[in-house]
Amino acid sequence: MRRVLVLGTGMIGTSVALALRQVGIHVGLFDRDAHSVAEAVRMGAGAASRAADPPADLVIIATPPSTVAEVLRAAQDRGLGAVYTDVASTKARLVSDAELAGCDLSSFVPGHPLAGTELSGPRAARADLFAGRPWVLCPLPATRLEPVRVVTELITACGAEIRLLSPRTHDRFVAAVSHAPHVVSAALAARFADPDDHMLALVGRGLQDTTRIATSPPGLWCDILAHNAGAVAAELEAVARDLTAAAAALRGADRADGGALADLLARGNRGREHIVAAEPARWATHHFVASNSPVGTA
Amino acid sequence: MRRVLVLGTGMIGTSVALALRQVGIHVGLFDRDAHSVAEAVRMGAGAASRAADPPADLVIIATPPSTVAEVLRAAQDRGLGAVYTDVASTKARLVSDAELAGCDLSSFVPGHPLAGTELSGPRAARADLFAGRPWVLCPLPATRLEPVRVVTELITACGAEIRLLSPRTHDRFVAAVSHAPHVVSAALAARFADPDDHMLALVGRGLQDTTRIATSPPGLWCDILAHNAGAVAAELEAVARDLTAAAAALRGADRADGGALADLLARGNRGREHIVAAEPARWATHHFVASNSPVGTA
């Protein structure tokens, strides 16, 4: 892997480019927004791609989920590279979209680095964004071994850890870990869309932390959520059920008898213990069997 | 204010005691749990109270909301102090409980420091817990001026800022800013009460931050929520409505047409902007007119 082409210079695409530049790889950059490319170039993420560039060893598609299939098809039609991957946070629908679009799936390795912040755009990019973070690959039955090897090299260069999951399992997990929490955080923040100043004066770290990811850009997130609609809807319905039951317990209980509310808080405590135990510091030493043999399942 | 008695040596009571010790005030400590008192004493929060102690200038009741009225009544019956305040996070029901219990309301100034963490117990206490934070006072029509002056001195000694609110307004604001977010955070964390290890491996900072306050002790929080039931239930119902509408939009939309989901994310963005603008750094310079004239409304 000597030449990489990054299509889409948002926060994730530019961060991958910055990480690759640090290990001396030649990076070409493209985005339909020329200002975004210029900003990424200015940050040292690589050079703007040109029509005369030779084919890349790896093309990284870093555009919103709903656009990946068409971008992949166009890139393959033009022969922009030998191997293709993406970084979108949904996988099952994207893969079927790619199949329907007539893409060559033998050279495509669907991927998803689980990293990012509530910010967006090239200026939010960081070379170390993926260090110690999981990077899911969903190799398809049609995927050849060599493309998987090349993408593994990419992930290693970014300092991330490979996890292998099927597209459906990936989407279900990510709905719970990331997509639904974004919507819940937005619903909490939405209560302050038109706030009383005296109420705002009482805001503390609890509300600051629970609403941090409500800063995320709505356009991109509508796209992500619509691409993982069923799994996200199921998570949101489960949370709404718990909140409705807690509210009903409060309405009924002049004297708190516990019940649904106490049960919810206890389950919350238990879940939080698991979440704390999964903290980033542990990722570096906590490997799954699959982590070291990505090619084995391809 | 030279002698203060703190009833209840949990995180808040012990933190107040530590702050008062730093300005040389004599602090007596009581808790029905002797181990908790011993721990607070060991941390330098004061001395265990004794039957022979002279009456305190100020008695601070730092017990769960549902117990404040009876503790106040018992303390006043025994003549433990000249002035009384509390630190509970609910106010309206507590005040009517105190009235019903036959407490002397002329020497009682209901209060609520908006500070704390997801931790509990004396070992989680910090002398600077209240620095720069709002501390709400809800003086009653019956409250005399001198008790308000004494409690103002307490708040100043703790480095906090006085806010004056009616009990009902306080409860409504706190339901939105603190109580409902605790339940929502618990509902999010509860999805991980019995998690898949491979799913946990994907956990990132977004979920860590949104669920931090789900660590809070369920017993104390059931008590708090039951004491502010109507206002909290209304907030939870509003959040549940938004989540249910978002789920329905996802279920119905093969192609994302935006609608309810896009609207929710946009409102979340707007609310988050207000929440960020209310960040702690601003509290130090952002005074309301009421802040400097607490006695004026007593």
Element (H, E) at B111: strand B111-113
* pLDDT the model gives residue A257: 54
pLDDT tens for chain B, residues 1 to 298: 999 999 999 999 999 999 999 999 999 999 999 999 999 999 999 999 999 999 999 999 999 999 999 999 999 999 999 999 999 999 999 999 999 999 999 999 999 999 988 788 999 999 999 999 999 999 999 999 999 999 999 999 999 999 999 999 999 999 999 999 999 999 999 999 999 999 999 999 999 999 999 999 999 999 999 999 999 999 999 999 999 999 999 998 545 555 899 999 999 999 999 999 997 654 433 333 233 333 333 2
Q: How far is the alpha carbon of A37 from chain B, nearest alpha carbon, in Å?
A: 26
Cβ-based contacts of A189 with chain B (< 8 Å): 267-269, 271-272, 275
B97 touches chain A (CB under 8 A): no
Strand, coil or helix: A139: coil
* pLDDT the model gives residue A117: 80
Looking up tokens 């070409």, which residue turns up? Answer: A28
**What are the backbone dihedrals phi and psi of residue A103, each rounded to the nearest 5 degrees, phi first?**
-70, 155
Asked if A272 and B192 come within 8 Å (Cβ–Cβ), the reply is yes
* pLDDT the model gives residue B56: 98
- B68 vs B73: CA distance, rounded Å: 9
* pLDDT the model gives residue A165: 97
- A88 vs A8: CA distance, rounded Å: 11
Cβ-based contacts of B113 with chain A (< 8 Å): none
Spell out a b/e string for A227-248, using b for 16 or more CB atoms within 10 Å of the CB, else e.
bbbebbbbbbbbbbebbbbbbb
B211 touches chain A (CB under 8 A): yes
A284 touches chain B (CB under 8 A): no
B79 touches chain A (CB under 8 A): no
Spell out a b/e string for A133-142, using b for 16 or more CB atoms within 10 Å of the CB, else e.
bbbbbbbbee
* pLDDT the model gives residue B288: 31
- A269 vs B218: CA distance, rounded Å: 8
A100 touches chain B (CB under 8 A): no
B214 touches chain A (CB under 8 A): yes
B270 touches chain A (CB under 8 A): yes
Cβ-based contacts of A93 with chain B (< 8 Å): none
- A128 vs B24: CA distance, rounded Å: 48
ipTM above 0.85, yes or no: yes
B-interface mutation test, from A202, A213, A257, most B Cβ less than 10 A away: A202
* pLDDT the model gives residue B258: 57
Asked if A193 and B247 come within 8 Å (Cβ–Cβ), the reply is no
**CA distance to A58, A142, A154, A290, per residue, from A151 (Å):** 8, 15, 5, 16
B281 touches chain A (CB under 8 A): no
B205 touches chain A (CB under 8 A): yes
- A232 vs A181: CA distance, rounded Å: 9
Cβ-based contacts of A242 with chain B (< 8 Å): 187, 190
B-interface mutation test, from A191, A255, A291, most B Cβ less than 10 A away: A191
* pLDDT the model gives residue B254: 47
Spell out a b/e string for B41-57, using b for 16 or more CB atoms within 10 Å of the CB, else e.
bebebbeebeeeeeebb
* pLDDT the model gives residue B294: 32
**CA distance to B33, B133, B177, B239, per residue, from B216 (Å):** 20, 20, 16, 20
Asked if B211 and A270 come within 8 Å (Cβ–Cβ), the reply is no
Q: How far is the alpha carbon of B168 from chain A, nearest alpha carbon, in Å?
A: 12
Q: How far is the alpha carbon of A77 from chain B, nearest alpha carbon, in Å?
A: 26
pLDDT tens for chain A, residues 1 to 298: 899 999 999 999 999 999 999 999 999 999 999 999 999 999 999 999 999 999 999 999 999 999 999 999 999 999 999 999 999 999 999 999 999 999 999 999 999 999 988 788 999 999 999 999 999 999 999 999 999 999 999 999 999 999 999 999 999 999 999 999 999 999 999 999 999 999 999 999 999 999 999 999 999 999 999 999 999 999 999 999 999 999 999 998 545 555 899 999 999 999 999 999 997 644 433 333 233 333 333 2
Q: What are the tokens at A160?
A: 């991330």
R_g over Cα of chain B: 21
* pLDDT the model gives residue A280: 60
A134 touches chain B (CB under 8 A): yes
Asked if A210 and B264 come within 8 Å (Cβ–Cβ), the reply is no
Q: Which residue of chain B has the CA closest to A267?
A: B190
